[in-house]
Structure 1
């Protein structure tokens, strides 16, 4: 029986992106005993993976001491395969029959494809999240069948990635109001703890529509089960956007200073949209964009997003 060590990201979105490689491994070696090392935020999207023997939570420490801590926890075992998608040196300090370590290149490719390249997988396996059955049961209770749902996540981990919440409200109203592409659909808002303020404009613009605000109320695996039921998901470049794509929901990602060619939602039912300024002009105009305190998507107008949503709805009608 194979023993596999899989080292993945601390971030939710990156862990989801890497999950396709993990899914390949558990399908290729169904009897394997798998140890996953990841950050605490990524735990909910990985903890129900098949074959999981041990989940090691790696919390960042100064001077990279978290790597030393991980090494101490895995060094006593002889591994059949170590897959390190963090590109650290730890794989070379372990007893292993086979080591596959991510090496960064200057070749521009989607991060899903980059991760798959570690195992030389082409086409790359799509991200996949395994959920417990009760997560889907809870989602059915929240979003009962017989109705379409528009799920939105107006927040993100950093302010420069966030489209103004008032713009989300305008898009949602246009889509679900009479004559809209999703007229009569239920509106669901998701997000993490502390994101509640971003839900307010949507609830305020549709006070009588019974908007279901789940912001900060769900465990991340329950969020995945909820977005799986979406006829359409709209969100900023965030971990939840990647979760929606991995769960098979038609997913529209809104982009500004991050590169959708690298980090766009992955799958046949996904699309991205950005404003006319473009990526290069955005990065040139805001050279310190990673420290920018407010949105860098202000050139993305509401009609552009509505049109992109309508196109995605039309394209996914028969998928």
Structure 2
């Protein structure tokens, strides 16, 4: 038996981006058992990993003491392979036959490709989430029949990355209208705990639209529902990367984040932004994270509609 320690991200989106590397290891090391170290938000994403031995949840502590905790929990074993996508010092102080520690790219490249470089892979493996039969059965109950289902996530980790709610409402109205691309489609509203504040203005603006409100649903359950959707449109967020990873045609909305690095990955995906480049938006603000409003104001509904229509038709 081989033992592999896989150290991945705290953030949901980054953990999903890194999941292709984990899946590559699962497929190419059939004798290996896996221990996965990640943050609490991402932990449930890995619960169905084949031959999973343990998930170590790293809860952030002052002065980086969570890394000391990880060392204490892993130093007693001899690892056949340690793969560290967090670029940590801890990996150097573990007993390992092989260790692969990510070196971040100095130029903007897709984060999926950057993650694959830790193993020297020329063709980056697609992100992949392993889901149980139980969550897929629950998803079929939540989204019965053939739909069609249009998935929308109007939230993001920061307000400056959020397309305005009135734009989402206008897009949904037009896209699901009788003459739209998905006439009479059911709209699946997604988001994390506390994201109802982003969804409610859209509900209020579209009282006649058929919504399925799944805001706050668990990550594996959300992924299984996304598998059943015909199209996903949403901000740059973890759920955008999740939609792409489960094979749903995915359109990511960008502005103050770099689509060269964080665009959804795969042939069934696309990213769209307004006329301002990431560099222009970034250069206009000392600290985007302090900005109290959306920085996607230049991304029009027409632009998103046309991009979503093109993606829908390309993936028919």
Question: If the length of structure 1 is used for normalisation, what is the TM-score?
Answer: 0.97
- Counterpart secondary structure, 1:117: helix
Report if the CA contact (8 A) 1:86-1:102 is conserved. Answer: yes
1:49-198 maps to which residues of 2 (within 5 A)? 49-198=49-198
Q: Secondary structure at the match of 1:41?
A: coil
Partners of 1:249 and 1:205 lie apart in 2 by 26
Report what 1:287 is aligned to.
286
1:219 aligns with 2:218: yes
C-alpha displacement at 1:111, in angstroms? 0.5
Offset of residue 209 of structure 1? 2.7
CA distance in 2, matches of 1:209, 1:298: 25
Q: Deviations for 1:17-42, whole angstroms, at most 9, x for unmatched residues?
A: 00000000011112211100000000
Distance 2:194 2:108 in 1: 34
Unaligned runs of 5+ residues in structure 2 are: none
Kept in 1, the 8 Å contact 2:188–2:213? The answer is yes
Q: Structure 2 CA distance, aligned partners of 1:53 and 1:188?
A: 34
Q: Is 1:313–2:312 an aligned residue pair?
A: yes
Equivalenced residue count is 316
Instruction: Tell me the residue number matched to 1:271.
Output: 270
Structure 1 residue ranges without an equivalent (≥5): none
Asked whether the 8 Å contact 2:105–2:114 carries over to 1, the reply is no
Report the aligned-residue RMSD: 0.9
Partner of 2:234: 235
Per the alignment, residue 247 of structure 1 pairs with 246
Partner of 1:40: 40
**Contact preservation (8 Å) 2:186, 2:211:** yes
- Contact persistence 1:150–1:185 (CA under 8 A): yes
**Counterparts of 1:220 and 1:165 in 2: how far apart (Å)?**
23
Please say if 1:209 is aligned against 2:244. no
Q: Residue 287 of structure 1: CA displacement?
A: 2.6
> What do residues 109-138 of structure 1 show as CA deviations (whole Å, max 9, x unaligned)?
111000100101121100000011111111
Contact 1:169 1:202 (C-alpha < 8 Å) held by counterparts: yes
Shift in Å at residue 254 of structure 1? 0.3
Counterpart secondary structure, 2:41: helix
Does the 8 Å CA contact 1:172/1:202 hold for their aligned counterparts? no
Name the SS for the 1:118 alignment partner: helix
> Cα offset for 1:149?
0.6
Q: Distance in 2 between matches of 1:116 and 1:262?
A: 13
Q: Matched residues in 1 for 2:197 and 2:107: separation? A: 39
Partners of 1:3 and 1:120 lie apart in 2 by: 20
The two structures have a TM-score, normalised by structure 2, of 0.98
Shift, 1:146, TM fit: 2.4
Maintained 8 Å contact 1:111/1:263: yes
Three-state SS of the structure 1 residue aligned to 2:105 is coil
In the alignment, the residues of structure 1 paired with residue 249 and residue 195 of structure 2 have an alpha-carbon distance, to the nearest angstrom, of 23
The runs of 4+ residues in structure 1 deviating greater than 2 Å are: none
Whether the 8 Å CA contact 1:173–1:205 is kept in 2: the answer is no
